[in-house]
Amino acid sequence: MNATTDVNAPYNTAIFYDVENLIKGYGFSKKIVQGLSLHDILKKIGETGKTGRIASHKAYANWLNPTLAFLHAELIDLDIEPITVTSPKGGVIKNVADIRLAIDVVDTLHNHPEITTYVIISGDGAYASLARKLHEYSKVVVGCAYKQSTNKMFASACDHFIWIEDPEVDNDKVEVRVSDTRSQHLIEKLNGKEANESNLIWIRINELLAAFVASKEYKRSLENGINPSVIREFIGAAIPNFNPTMLGFDRFIDFLAHAIDNTDLAIYLFPPSDIRIGLKSAKPLNSVTLSKGNIKRFGHDDCGEIRDQRIRRLTRDVKSISSNASTKEIVEKLKEVIEWIAADSEFRASLTEGVNPATFDCAIREIIVGFTNSRLGFSRLSDLLSWLTWDTELCIVQNQENKSIWKVLLRSNIPAGYATYESKMIPQGDIEEEKAKATPLTPWELNTPPKEKTSIIWQLSNLFRTKH
């Protein structure tokens, strides 16, 4: 059976199944046996219209393991070549299927130039480097995996991604980790109140904001004002993959100004750059109220959350790029922005007391047009800033009493009551080693288990360079 039913389509597609990833290890549950269907996966691949007829069709696992017998009939029906991977003693070695799959992909790449589309059925982040290498040879990469367990770096590296249903997940809810436990408690309370599919997304947003305002856990914080990123994280956790652009807003702050218009919330600006969300009934002293009517007037020309002359200077000194640039170029540009901010005399004076993370977000988005944290695999701004500043004199800190308050400041000036935020997205076991080398972690290593960085699959991505 082929991915496409078009008899005139060329044999230009190779499909590789990381079966060990699909079954989540050999101690898989009955739900996997009952729900995993290679027929269904192949049907979804064909429905995309991104593939031709299959020239190479391989599945990697320890096929000598009797527990995989439930897949044998499908291997025959679909003409899939089973590639058995075991240790010399017949056991299973971690990642051996990944390594063999990567080797075969590279072999196909160099020996079969007529194959132009590569389908990798796995959610493993180690394949992100492999996808980028295939792009260097002008190949199309299609990924396919369970949405809840797919590495974001691999998903973003693919030209197209096919989501398949996880047999062990009973519904479409996605568990999203949030740094603020109060948000987690609120989300748990709302779990049984999902909006009907026929309702607009605004109904769900209005419900979330109403619960946020009524929450006793956030009452004290709202009286003092909280960072907009707290609400951004809360909405993102309750509505997976939420992006204000889906509602026609380029900036989250513009979306928020519209969303809270008929609520008890208000946006307050503390000149020159601190923006907080608070209650309309408790306007803080020395603050300016922002609304959907005047938010643009206080915003930086195109991107920023506030009109900040420091960011104006940044845009004159640092050349902007598109978020479509390569990962390497984006990382270098991010470092350049951080270095400029740390060296700027006016910014440095503010960093002594602390700068709102939203200002850094504004600066980054002005220099890297269209940039989002997920571009490098981060779900939160705090994680991105933690990674960007960990080997610099700057750091991001969180107030230990009111965890809604964040600042970026000089490490030598951390005030009492604040603690440095260390992102869990950085492999802790590798920090000291990386610091010793004075080399920051590359984004594609962030979601890769430490041992994989020296594995064959990781090295393979650097073995083959495009010949000019």
User: Is the pLDDT assigned to residue 14 strictly greater than 90?
Assistant: yes
Q: Do residues 22 and 160 share a domain?
A: yes
Inside any domain, residue 432: no
Alpha helices in 380-455 (DSSP H): 381-389, 428-437, 443-446
Is-contact 397 406, C-beta < 8 A? Answer: yes
pLDDT of the residue at 453: 44
My answer on whether 228 and 329 are in the same domain is no
Residue among 281, 175, 173, 183 at smallest CA distance from 231 = 183
pLDDT higher than 50, residue 439:
no
Domain that holds residue 105: 11-170+453-463
Q: Which range scores top for mean pLDDT: 129-138, 223-232, 380-389, 427-436?
A: 129-138
Q: Identify the domain boundary among 268, 298, 328.
A: 298
Residue whose pair of structure tokens reads 């970026």 in the numeric block = 408
Q: Are residues 220 and 318 in the same domain?
A: no
- Contact yes or no for 50/4 (Cβ under 8 A): no
Note whether 193 and 230 are same-domain residues.
yes
Last residue of a domain, one of 252, 273, 298: 298
- Show which of 275, 298, 321 is a domain's final residue: 298
Residue 305: predicted pLDDT: 39
**Whose CA is closest to 92, among 123, 58, 122, 65?**
65
3 state DSSP class of 26: coil
Residues 327 and 407 in one domain: yes
Q: Look at residue 447 and tell me if it is in a domain.
A: no
Shared domain for 209 and 340, answered yes or no, is: no
Structure tokens at 269: 């600006």
Per-residue pLDDT band at 102 (split at 50, 70, 90) = very high
Element housing 223 (H / E)? helix 216-224
Q: Per the domain annotation, does 442 fall within a domain?
A: no
Q: Is residue 435 part of a domain?
A: no
pLDDT above 70: residue 220: yes
**Per-residue model confidence (pLDDT) at position 272:** 65
69, 143: one domain: yes
266 lies in a domain? yes
| pLDDT (tens digit per residue) in 262-275 | 888 998 887 766 78
391-407 confidence digits (pLDDT tens): 899 999 998 887 778 89
Is the Cβ–Cβ distance between 115 and 143 less than 8 Å?
Answer: no
Convert the pLDDT of each residue in 111-126 to its tens digit. Answer: 999 999 999 999 988 8
pLDDT > 90 fraction of the chain, expressed in percent and rounded: 28
Q: Is residue 437 in some structural domain?
A: no
Same-domain status, 195 and 284:
yes
Tell whether the model's pLDDT for residue 285 goes beyond 50: yes
Q: What is the DSSP string of 128-151?
A: HHHHHHHHHTT-EEEEEEEGGG--
Q: 106 and 58, same structural domain?
A: yes
Contacts by residues 207-215 (CB-CB < 8 Å, ≥ 24 positions apart): 208/234, 208/235, 208/238, 208/239, 209/259, 209/260, 209/263, 209/265, 210/263, 211/186, 212/186, 212/265, 213/263, 213/264, 213/265, 213/279, 215/182, 215/186
Output the pLDDT for position 222: 85
How many structural domains compose the chain? 3
pLDDT bucket at 137, cuts 50 / 70 / 90? very high
The CATH number that applies at residue 34 is 3.40.50.1010
Coil, helix or strand for 78?
coil
Q: Is residue 2 part of a domain?
A: no
- The DSSP result for 98-122, as a single string, is HHHHHHHHHHHHHH-TT--EEEEEB
pTM of the model: 0.42
Q: Are residues 111 and 183 in the same domain?
A: no
Query: Does 146 lie in the same domain as 25?
Result: yes
Which pLDDT score, from 0 to 100, does residue 2 have? Answer: 67
Q: Do 17 and 166 have their domain in common?
A: yes
Average pLDDT, whole number, for the chain? 78
- 17 and 121 Cβ atoms separated by less than 8 Å: yes
Split at pLDDT 50, 70, 90, the class of 467 is very low
Phi and psi, residue 83, nearest 5°: -105, 110
Which DSSP state fits 411? Answer: G
- Is residue 438 one of the residues assigned to a domain? no
- pLDDT higher than 50, residue 193: no
Look at the block and give the residue holding tokens 């990123």. 229
Question: Radius of gyration of the chain from Cα atoms?
Answer: 25
